[in-house]
Structure 1
Amino acid sequence: MMKSLVSCLKPLILGAMLATIAAPAPLLAETVDAPVARSALQARAEALLDIAARHVAEKGEAGALDFARQSAFVDRDLYAYALRTDGVFLASGGSSAALVGDNVLDYTDTDGKAFFREMIEIARRDGQGSIEYRWFNPADSRGEPKTTLFRKVGEVIVAVGYYPPRATALEARAMLRTALRALDGGKDAALAEFQDLNGRFVRNDLYVFVVDAESGRFLAHGATPAMVGTDGFELQDPRGQYIIRQMLEIARKDGSGELDYFWRNPTTGKVESKHTLFRLSHGLLVAVGSYNR
């Protein structure tokens, strides 16, 4: 019988896990094929994994024990942990230290996913990889989708996980105001800045997109630059909702508005519910949205 990870960690997380929301249908091909933005948090996780994997490569399995007692293996909310390919959990610099000594092959998340077993299978086959599952997030006391990067070093699997960041509606509203001010200062410069992946208008899952109100053509898209030049009038979400048509209909009447639809989150690669704020300015539809939790 599969042993529930939730029951194992019951003293830590009782009552904190959330049910998973069913995934909607696939997006249009042009958005599915677009690359997912690499967030600053993912970069931190990759750097910490490099440090931890090198340590185990140098010290062997015993080196993994240092994850729980040396600050080099903890980066703020990120921490390294390790398990053997036989499923025995070896060490952790975070809350999963409660698992040390257990065989976690049959532990499952709230969706019934045996993610440790899957991690081991991928590591044996490919040597490294990533996996997604739901885990207790001590930052807000709830079950959250978590992404873990891992690497096989001998018979030890070294891992670092992170919660993909989510912007709030207030942050989206603030970015929209800033984007409108940027357009007031010069259209061409602003449109270029909206697509600068290292700039102020692309922050994890928060970004700006702009559509010409007359032609319906995308002039900027911070998450998917390949959409620039495409026809927004024909763009539908997975449920068949004509996103840009509806936004422009509202904006032409009221000057601004809000719309809910489904779209791919650039930090998770998953189709999620999104709430977007928009305004008509200089003949342009300017929009910023946040993904609903």
Structure 2
Amino acid sequence: MKKNLLKPIVAAAVLGVAAHSALAADRGTPREARELLDQAVKYMDANANAPEKAFTAFNDRKGRFVRKDLYVFVIDDKGVYHASGAAPEALVGLSVLNTTDAAGNPLFREMIDGTRSAPEATVRYMWLNRMTNKVEPKVTYVHKSGDYILGVGYSAPRATADDARSMLKRAVDTVTADGPAKAATAFNNRQGPFVKDDLYVFMVNMDSGKFEAMGMNPALSDTDARGLHDAEGHALVAEMIDKLKTADDATVDYVWRNPVTNRVEKKRSYVHRVGNSLVGVGHYVE
């Protein structure tokens, strides 16, 4: 048990981006991450017969493949690092196949599996940002080039109340149009449109009190939700269900561990009833 608990902690401590600046202005944008990956893929393909040359360039922490808090990394299909602009001296040769993020998700397996059927994939997870020294949502673009997977990730922003309401509306529309079973599959797709930054959709069957979907951790599907309590002992899902017995919409406040900051914070969830399903999206209140 201790070994499993230590995995995300050790990984976060080792695998974050180099702390070359503490300024928010040095955060890379999604567009910059995409551009850096495209340039890295082009360079890798040009050196397909001599990949070590590309690895050397990617491992140069003062080179052109490290910008702001963005860097290129390369793993193979066994999950072994061949390059990383974050900390090459610590990572090259390291196997991270079974490493999980701060929310327990197997991010490197997702990168490998995501590029088996298509050359590119997008993976979302929780990771240490060395600039802020906080665990934050991260989005990484990955590309399969020959026997290797290249990636560049960026730290994602915190969501707002408007972001949460907007995602909830889209989720409700999806359940209404497609039915709960098909919608649950979409909500549980961590690479899909219903998991973004620190936002995700959850869905609960109001009769059984079980999760029908949980975007941040799909493994919780079909487990008890009604019995969940927050850090202050508040039965938050039970309150959501009770409120939706007499209304179509409700708002519930509670305290919950924020995987972005790794602290217990105030959270507000907006929930809506669709048939016999409770659909919800929450955001952290600063």
TM-score range, shorter chain: 0.5 to 0.7
Task: Choose which of 39, 50, 69 in structure 2 pairs with 1:78.
Answer: 69
Task: Choose which of 247, 255, 260 in structure 2 pairs with 1:254.
Answer: 247
Distance in structure 2 (CA, Å) of the matches to 1:194 and 1:58: 40
1:207 partner amino acid: Y
Q: Which has the higher contact order (CA 8 A, sep 6+)?
A: 1
Structure 2 residue 224 is matched with structure 1 residue 224: no
Task: Choose which of 137, 147, 170 in structure 2 pairs with 1:178.
Answer: 170
Distance in structure 2 (CA, Å) of the matches to 1:60 and 1:120: 9
Give the Å deviation of 1:195: 1.0
Distance in structure 2 (CA, Å) of the matches to 1:147 and 1:175: 17
Distance in structure 1 (CA, Å) of the matches to 2:162 and 2:189: 22
Give the Å deviation of 1:66: 3.1
Q: How many residues align?
A: 200
Unaligned runs of 5+ in 1: 1-8, 14-39, 82-92, 94-118, 137-142, 149-159
1:288 partner amino acid: V
Distance in structure 1 (CA, Å) of the matches to 2:135 and 2:95: 23
Give the Å deviation of 1:176: 0.8
Q: Which residue in the other structure is 2:190 paired with?
A: 197
- What SS does the corresponding residue of 1:211 show, helix, strand or coil? strand
Larger Cα-atom Rg: 1
Structure 2 residue 260 is matched with structure 1 residue 263: no
Distance in structure 1 (CA, Å) of the matches to 2:254 and 2:281: 13
Tell me if structure 2 keeps the 8 A contact 1:145–1:163.
no
- What SS does the corresponding residue of 1:253 show, helix, strand or coil? coil
Give the Å deviation of 1:289: 0.9
C-alpha distance 186-144 of structure 1, shift in aligned 2 (>3 A): same
Give the Å deviation of 1:65: 3.7
Unaligned runs of 5+ in 2: 1-20, 25-29, 44-51, 73-84, 102-126, 139-151
Q: Structure 1 vs Structure 2: percent identity of aligned residues? A: 29
Tell me if structure 2 keeps the 8 A contact 1:135–1:145.
no
Give the Å deviation of 1:186: 2.4
Give the Å deviation of 1:132: 4.1
Q: TM-score, normalised by structure 2?
A: 0.52
Alignment of 1:1-293 (within 5 A): 58=56, 63-67=60-64, 72-74=65-67, 78-80=69-71, 132=128, 135=131, 163-187=155-179, 188-265=181-258, 268=260, 270-273=262-265, 274-293=267-286
Q: Which residue in the other structure is 1:140 paired with?
A: none
- What SS does the corresponding residue of 1:278 show, helix, strand or coil? strand
Q: Which residue in the other structure is 2:110 paired with?
A: none
- What SS does the corresponding residue of 1:182 show, helix, strand or coil? helix
Give the Å deviation of 1:212: 1.1
Give the Å deviation of 1:272: 4.0
C-alpha distance 56-200 of structure 1, shift in aligned 2 (>3 A): closer
1:286 partner amino acid: V
Tell me if structure 1 keeps the 8 A contact 2:272–2:278.
yes
Distance in structure 1 (CA, Å) of the matches to 2:241 and 2:248: 9
Q: TM-score, normalised by structure 1?
A: 0.51
